[in-house]
Amino acid sequence: MARIVIDARESGTSTGRYIDKLIENLHALQPEFEFVILTKPVRVGYLKSIAPNFKVLESNCKEFTFAEQFGLLKQIRGLKADLVHFAMPQQPLLYRGKVVTTIHDLTTTRFRNPSKNQVVFWLKQQVYKWLIKKVVRKSSQIISVSQFVKNDVAQYAKIRDDKITVIYLAADKIAEAPKSVPDVTPGSFIMYVGRPLPHKNLKRLIEAYSIIRNTKHSVQLALVGAPDKLYDRHAQWVKAEHVEGVVFTGFASEGQLRWLYQNSAAYVFPSLSEGFGLPGLEAMVHGAPVISSRATCLPEIYGEAAEYFDPTSVRDMVRVIGHVLEDPARRQQLRQLGFAQARKYSWRKTAEQTLAIYRQVLSS
Could you report the per-residue pLDDT of 87-137, keeping only the tens digit for each? 999 999 999 999 999 999 998 888 776 666 677 767 777 878 888 899 999
Q: Which residues neighbour 184 within 8 Å (Cβ) at sequence distance 6 or greater?
A: 220, 222, 247, 249, 260, 263
Residue 116: predicted pLDDT: 67
pLDDT in the model for residue 203:
96
- Count helices and strands in the chain by DSSP H and E runs: 14, 13
- Helix (H), strand (E) at residue 135: helix 118-138
Phi, psi of 326 (to 5 degrees): -85, -5
3-state helix, strand, coil in the chain (%, to 5): 45, 15, 35
Residues 292 and 307: beta-carbon distance below 8 Å? yes
Q: What is the mean pLDDT of residues 19-25?
A: 98
Angle between helices 314-325 and 202-215 in degrees, nearest 10: 50
User: Phi-psi region for residue 80, left (φ > 0), alpha (ψ -120 to 50) or beta?
Assistant: left
Reported confidence tier of residue 44, pLDDT bands at 50, 70, 90: very high
Task: Report pLDDT digits (tens) over 150-189.
Answer: 999 999 999 988 999 999 999 999 999 999 999 999 999 9
pLDDT at 13 over 90: no
Is the model's pLDDT at 62 over the cut of 90?
Answer: no
Strands 290-293 and 266-269: parallel
- Bridge partners for 34 per DSSP: 3
* Mean pLDDT value of segment 334-359: 98
Q: What is the pLDDT of residues 245-268, one digit of tens each?
A: 999 999 999 999 999 999 999 999
Lowest mean pLDDT among 229-233, 316-320, 358-362: 229-233
pLDDT tens sequence across 261-292: 999 999 999 999 999 999 999 999 999 999 99
Cα separation, 17 vs 21, whole angstroms: 6
**How far is C-alpha 271 from the chain's CA centre?**
12
Residue 154 neighbours by CB distance under 10 Å = 18
Distance separating alpha carbons of residues 166 and 25, to the nearest angstrom:
18
Give pLDDT, residue 77: 95
Q: Kindly calculate the radius of gyration of the chain based on its CA atoms and give it in whole angstroms.
A: 21
Q: How far is Cα 295 from Cα 146, in angstroms, rounded to an integer?
A: 13
Structural domains for the chain = 3-170+346-362 (3.40.50.2000), 189-342 (3.40.50.2000)
The single-letter code of the amino acid at 92 is: P
